[in-house]
Amino acid sequence: MAIHNICVFCGSNSGLDPAFSEKTVALGQYLAANDYQLVYGGGDHGLMGKVAKATMDAGGRVIGIIPHFLVARELAFKDVTTFIETRTMTERKEKMLHLADAFIVLPGGFGTFEEFLQMLSWSQMDIHQKPIALYNIDGFYDDLVAMLQKTADLGFAPEANLDLFINGHDLDEIFAGFHDFKHVLPPKYTN
């Protein structure tokens, strides 16, 4: 499937490693330069604000999607191409899923993990067939990847389901992974 819209999940904080912000800005610039539209959670703070502003500043297109109750709390960034307010978090996530052709998960907090794991879980249930890439900047996601491997090793997920996400360390690896991605599901129960 051709990729036009890329949904980025990331922290509403920026994190303490300057590489997180640098790579986030570079991602926004890359999306704009390659005519991918950014879909994201509509926030103004942290890596969320940085990826949106970098994409807009570089002449790209951005869809921000945020529930009403977070507009004040996360300080919505409204200066985007399309700004959408939803009633609930669930409606937001469904809209993000509907619009996205692929997902990139930057470093972030609990909300980012929830978003990644929800999309991974929905992928293994065949609710969607879209590629998901962790952007594993400075090894931020090494422990999560190890936990997912352990989950397969101990029989709670088929080993093949580890191929439903890309563990990307740079943009070349992520976009090559998108290009090669095939959504293949083994039988759900292995034991």
The residues binding ligand AMP (CB under 6 A) are: 11-13, 41, 43, 70, 89, 108-112, 114-115
User: Least distance (Å) from ligand AMP to the CB of residue 94?
Assistant: 12
Q: Quick one: 110 or 189, whose CB is closer to ligand AMP?
A: 110
Residue nearest to ligand AMP (CB): 111
Q: Quick one: 12 or 161, whose CB is closer to ligand AMP?
A: 12
User: Least distance (Å) from ligand AMP to the CB of residue 137?
Assistant: 14
Q: Which two tokens stand for residue 104?
A: 């990139």
Q: Quick one: 76 or 158, whose CB is closer to ligand AMP?
A: 76
Q: Cβ distance 46 to 11 under 8 Å?
A: yes
Q: Quick one: 32 or 74, whose CB is closer to ligand AMP?
A: 74
Q: Quick one: 12 or 24, whose CB is closer to ligand AMP?
A: 12
User: Least distance (Å) from ligand AMP to the CB of residue 145?
Assistant: 17
User: Least distance (Å) from ligand AMP to the CB of residue 12?
Assistant: 3
User: Least distance (Å) from ligand AMP to the CB of residue 115?
Assistant: 5
User: Least distance (Å) from ligand AMP to the CB of residue 40?
Assistant: 8
Q: Quick one: 70 or 137, whose CB is closer to ligand AMP?
A: 70
* SS3 track for the chain: CCCCEEEEECCCCCCCCHHHHHHHHHHHHHHHHCCCEEEECCECCHHHHHHHHHHHHCCCCEEEEEEHHHHHHCCECCCCCEEEEECCHHHHHHHHHHHCCEEEECCCCHHHHHHHHHHHHHHHCCCCCCCEEEECHHHCCHHHHHHHHHHHHCCCCCHHHHHHEEEECCHHHHHHHHHHCCCCCCCCCCC
Query: Token pair 């034991």 is at which residue?
Result: 191
Distance CA 6, CA 18 (A): 23
